[in-house]
């Protein structure tokens, strides 16, 4: 397994950023790779889907994107089955990301190297230029393959860092092969932060709408030489339903309205 280091030295990071994944994931394929597997999983097209990730460091609520129906449907399916419950955030890099979803992390021994587990299928990439690696997004880990297919279960939440225009220029030139970062994305990377060097290389399929501090607290935890937290960070993942969704969306609407009033 390869490793990514935080974006402290841009040239070092650029040489090793395709490793947010279990190395074996691309070899694990079945008929579930076919689009028909996902057709009936997502539900109503106009319905927002939310999951809660709970840990000893707090909890986050994540809205899953309708623009990535295959990833969203798969994540919902696994969450409903309890697949993630008892797994660890097994890889943590401050100012970058926190990674979890490896079923092998359940009952793993201290110091055990993790990151190879998951279902024996992959999810076709759903790369979207409008969905980028700002702080707080949920994205799929993957093996380093040309089709950029995602691991079926391993995911990461971005903490990232803020960037200057000069740093973003270097990201464009060195890591994005000259592809320009849109102006609105630049604004986010300069103010909120994120991991722009991963854009259009890993599928982003959700974002935190409540509980950003969970990511920061986990990112601050002590880790070993393999970036695994010294003290296990166990997660429980549940799907929000009915009244929970209605109450959440009412709260989010009220918070958005208050922010607009403050900005006036």
d(CA 37, CA 259): 41
- What are the boundaries of each domain within the chain? 10-263
Entry pTM: 0.84
d(CA 142, CA 50): 23
Superfamily of segment(s) 10-263: Cyclophilin-like (2.40.100.10)
Helix (H) or strand (E) segment spanning residue 52: strand 49-55
Q: Is the pLDDT of residue 34 over 50?
A: no
Q: Is the pLDDT of residue 16 over 50?
A: no
- The CA distances from residue 48 to 16, 64, 86, 124, 239, in Å, are 35, 7, 26, 21, 11
Banded model confidence at residue 255, pLDDT cuts 50, 70, 90: confident
Mean pLDDT for 104-113 is: 96
Specify the range with the lowest mean pLDDT, choosing from 28-37, 136-145, 211-220.
28-37
Question: Contacts by 39-44 with C-beta closer than 8 Å and gap 24+?
Answer: 41/73, 41/74, 41/76, 41/77, 42/66, 42/69, 42/72, 42/73, 42/76
């Amino acid at each position: 397994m390869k490793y990514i280091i935080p974006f402290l030295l841009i040239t070092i990071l650029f040489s090793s950023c395709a490793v947010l994944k279990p190395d074996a994931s691309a070899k694990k394929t079945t008929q579930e790779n076919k689009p028909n597997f996902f057709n009936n999983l997502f539900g109503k097209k106009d319905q927002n889907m939310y999951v809660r990730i709970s840990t000893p460091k707090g909890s986050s609520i994540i809205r899953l994107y309708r623009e990535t129906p295959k990833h969203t449907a798969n994540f919902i399916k696994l969450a409903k089955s309890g697949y993630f419950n008892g797994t660890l955030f097994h890889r943590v890099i401050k100012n970058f990301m926190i990674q979890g979803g490896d079923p092998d992390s359940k009952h793993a021994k201290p110091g055990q190297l993790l990151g190879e587990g998951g279902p024996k299928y992959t999810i076709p990439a759903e790369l979207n230029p409008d969905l980028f690696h700002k702080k707080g997004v949920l994205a799929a880990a993957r093996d380093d393959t040309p089709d950029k297919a995602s691991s079926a279960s391993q995911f990461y939440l971005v903490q990232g860092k803020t960037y200057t225009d000069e740093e973003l220029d270097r990201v464009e030139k060195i890591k994005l092969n000259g592809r320009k970062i849109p102006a609105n994305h630049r604004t986010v990377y300069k103010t909120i932060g994120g991991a722009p060097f991963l854009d259009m290389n890993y599928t982003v399929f959700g974002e935190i709408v409540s509980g950003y501090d969970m990511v920061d607290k986990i990112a601050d935890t002590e880790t070993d030489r393999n970036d695994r937290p010294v003290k296990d960070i166990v997660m429980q993942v549940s799907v929000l339903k009915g009244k929970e969704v209605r109450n959440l969306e009412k709260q989010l609407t009220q918070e958005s309205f208050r922010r607009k009033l403050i900005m006036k």
